[in-house]
Amino acid sequence: MASRAANKRLTREYKTISENPPPYIVAHPSESNILEWHYILTGPPDTPYHNGQYWGTLIFPPNYPFAPPAIRMHTPSGRFQPSTRLCLSISDFHPKSFNPAWEVSTILIGLLSFMTSEEMTTGSVGATEAERKWAAARSRWWNSTGGGSFSDGKTKQKGNIKAGDGGAKFRAEWPELDKENWKYMKDNRIDTVTGNTIQDPSTSGPNCGPTIGGLRRPSGSQAVVGAVVEGGRAVGEEGRSWIRRNKLLVIGGVIFTYVLIARLLGDGTGSSN
């Protein structure tokens, strides 16, 4: 339960962030618990996250603002492990470095800034730019379907946030955004189970792989959006180079070339005698 000071402070901050939200950021406390905040970061232009819809939570301690919140991002992004506590100077990993003057908006601006950097920390992952763009294109689908686990709209689960809840928690906290997401999926012919674009049978041409919003999943990469992501790593490491992936072929080629040259040189020496 929030202390009187925490309740007063968070109530004031909600009013502030609602009236003057920072760019690419919206946030609100849960109706049932003022210490549980939900945020949406919209991927800024000129980043791999452009137009992505990234949903996460801030869980504040009862003695806030004298201690920082736990920070999680639930939407797979290619930048953070979904639903995993992030180790940042503004998070509960570093309570001694937290400044009580920092507010919710300060915390979320710092999170967005860190997200668009390449700095690594506990809870962050490595991914290629193409993988992050692919995840951004699927973010609305993931949020509203629970990673494809949505079935009949009757899912009631509102506990731990994971892909298998059918999007129930997101729907409860962001009803208007959820409606927009379903319209987006309908308008863009997105399969609600797979997140892939449904091919128009009237169009010609082969279908070479899963696509969404004109973006095909990078060849050879792991799926950034998984079925169950609680505590899991949803993004593969950066792609290996061709040489590393085909090192046996390269070594064999070098040996063959060496033997061939040696034999040619030997034949030339023998004919001169």
Give me the amino acid identity at 81. Answer: Q
Q: Is 208 annotated in the active site? A: no
Tell me how far CA of residue 218 lies from CA of 24, 51, 184, in angstroms: 26, 19, 23
Q: Look at residues 201, 196, 235 and name the one whose alpha carbon lies nearest to residue 216.
A: 196
Q: Could you say which of 26, 59, 87, 172 is catalytic? A: 87
Q: Are 47 and 92 in contact, with CB atoms under 8 Å apart?
A: no
Strands across the sheet containing 53-59: 25-30, 33-42, 53-59, 70-73
User: What count of other Cβ atoms lies within 10 Å of the Cβ of residue 41?
Assistant: 25
d(CA 23, CA 142): 23
d(CA 115, CA 47): 10
Q: Say whether 165 sits in a helix, a strand or coil.
A: helix
Task: Note the Cα 118 to chain centre separation in Å.
Answer: 14
Residues known to be catalytic: 87
